[in-house]
Structure 1
Amino acid sequence: MSVDAILLAGGRASRVDGAAKPLFEVDGRTLLRAGYDAVRARGARRVVVVGPRLDDDLPVRWAREDPPFGGPVAAIVAALPHVDAADVFVLACDLPTAIPAVAALPDPLPTGVDGACLDDGRRQWLIGRYRTAALRAAASGLLGRGRDASMRALLGGLRVEPVAVDPALTRDVDTWDDLRAARGGAMTESRTLPPEALNDWSAALAERFGLSEGDIPISLILDLARDVANGVARPAAPLSAFVAGLIAGRAGGSPADTEAAVAAVVEMARGWENR
């Protein structure tokens, strides 16, 4: 069965100060190159990378979602006109374990399914292999070119077979700490203690409203936003953060109250696709 590939490389990367995550090097190659090598090793003929042109040496077709930073669904919609194989890999370019992760996907896809994706307790839609015709049909029903749509909105109606794997196989790079862990703890000094993009704003908020440093748990809120964006939809992330703040405030407003409120919202988001 013929197969092409769509690599997603156009996110904002706000948790690493807007750095180009696909160009982070792990074990001597960039995450973009690792993704490319992973799909080529599984027989991908044409590889489409959605994002800014990052590596002119890669023999790929470059595409861009409209508008830029419109999310993974918008990126897939932008790439689909450039693929023509029966199946297509979909892979985010922030995965240090891209080669073994893609190798875990079935080849060929089982009869009677529209695709398969890894599942580490949650469906990892962005490490998957799908029927191209099924993706096109699903994308045709989306409004606004899929801007800010969740992967569930695109794939929730398809027959996607989960492939159970250890979470270590799907651990992506979202933060500088993730990158340090992927590199086995070895990072240059300039990468070890980078200034977080939100630190100055957080400090200004704390000073203006008489808050302490522990009152603004940046990582906790960013994790909440990520989980809600992945499990529900990107626009639901700020709304959910606001609701979590309301819940915590009504409970007393302590750090423990905030953690409990965030955990409750995240639990809802993670189960949203199965409701």
Structure 2
Amino acid sequence: MSVDAILLAGGRGTRVGGAIKPLFEVNGSTLLASAVGAVRAGGAERAVVAAPVLAEGLDVRWVREDPPFGGPVAAIVAALEEVDADEVYVVACDLPTVDAAVALLSDPLPADADGACLDDGRPQWLIGRYRTAALRAVASTLPDRGRDASMRALLGRLTVLPVAVDPALTHDVDTWDDLRRARGGAMTEPRTLPPEALNEWSAALAERFGLAEGDIPISLVLDLARDVANGVARPAAPLSAFVAGLVAGRAGGSPADTEAAVAAVVEMARGWQDR
């Protein structure tokens, strides 16, 4: 059974101020180079990187969704055109533990499955292995070549087996704090945005609008945005954050009201594709 790989490396890096996360170095190698090495070790004959050319000398093929920044589904749809193998790894290039993660997916898929992905309590679809034909079949039904589509729209109809893992194995580099932890506390990457920038912005908003310290739950809002982007579509994330705030305000505006509103929106998002 032949296998190729699609590596996703073309995101905006919004939470690190636009820095190029796949080029962050962890343990002496960039996250991108580590991902290439991991899928090669896992048997991938061809590695297709969905991103602008980020590094010369890598034995990969570069592709780009059109227009750029269309989200992971659009990137996968574009990269599938370069895949020849029966099965394909799909891996985001922001995972410090990529070697161990991909090793868990190195066996060919069982006959009754369309794919397998790591599951740390939630399916981690961007650390997975899938049947190429199954991905192409669903991709062909998506409007706009998958632009701004959720991963659930691409994979929700497929039989994807969960591979249970500890959450530590799937902890990606999404923020500067994540990068610091991945490096064992060391930070040598030049910062285009300091890690406390959101705290400073939050404090400025609170001062401007007369809010109390702690009234703006940054982590809660960012987690909501992530879940909605994955379950519905990326443009739905800011809209959903606004609605959650509106609902919480009308309920009284307490921290408990905010948590309840966010939980309700997240529950809707997680079940959106199954409606």
With normalisation by structure 1, the TM-score equals: 0.92
2:29 matched to which residue of 1? 29
- CA distance in 1: counterparts of 2:112 and 2:105, whole angstroms: 16
Identity over aligned pairs, percent: 81
State the Cα distance separating 1:272 from its structure 2 match.
Answer: 4.6
CA displacement, residues 12-59 of structure 1 (integer Å, 9 cap, x when unaligned): 111111110001111111110111111000110111100121111211
Which residue does 1:255 correspond to in 2? Answer: 255
Give TM-score, length-normalised by structure 2. Answer: 0.92
State the distance in 2 between where 1:218 and 1:198 align. 8
Contact 1:7 1:91 in 2 (8 A): yes
TM-superposed deviation, 1:164: 1.1
SS of equivalent residue, structure 2 residue 214: helix
Aligned residues: 275
- Take 2:91 and 2:189, find their aligned partners in 1: how far apart are those partners? 30
The answer to whether residue 31 in structure 2 is matched with residue 20 in structure 1 is no
Following superposition, the deviation at residue 200 of structure 1 comes to 6.3
| Superposition map of 1:191-270 within 5 A | 194=194, 198=198, 202=202, 205-270=205-270
- Deviation, 1:250, is 1.8
Q: Distance in 1 between matches of 2:29 and 2:95?
A: 12
The separation in 2 between residues aligned to 1:149 and 1:93, in whole angstroms, is: 19
* TM superposition shift of 1:79: 0.4
Q: Give runs of aligned pairs for residues 1-275 of structure 1, distance below 5 A.
A: 1-188=1-188, 194=194, 198=198, 202=202, 205-272=205-272
Instruction: Report the CA distance shift for 1:197/1:71 in structure 2 as closer, same or farther (over 3 A).
Output: farther
Q: CA deviation at 1:80?
A: 0.7
CA 1:189–1:255 in structure 2 vs 1: closer, same or farther (change >3 Å)? farther
- Structure 1 distance, partners of 2:112, 2:188, is 49
State the distance in 2 between where 1:101 and 1:175 align.
Answer: 20
The amino acid across from 2:107 in the alignment is D
- 1:213 positional shift: 4.5
* Cα deviation, residue 207, structure 1: 4.5
Cα deviation for residue 227 of structure 1 reads 1.6
Q: Could you tell me which runs of 5 or more consecutive residues in structure 2 were left unpaired when the two chains were aligned.
A: none
- Measured in 1, the distance between the counterparts of 2:107 and 2:67 equals 33
Structure 1: segments with no counterpart, 5+ residues: none
Q: Give CA deviations for 1:195-223 in whole Å, capped at 9, x if unaligned.
A: 55656654554444333443333332122
Distance 1:121 1:273 in 2: 19
Q: Partner of 1:22: helix, strand, or coil?
A: helix
CA contact (8 A) 2:175 2:195 kept: no
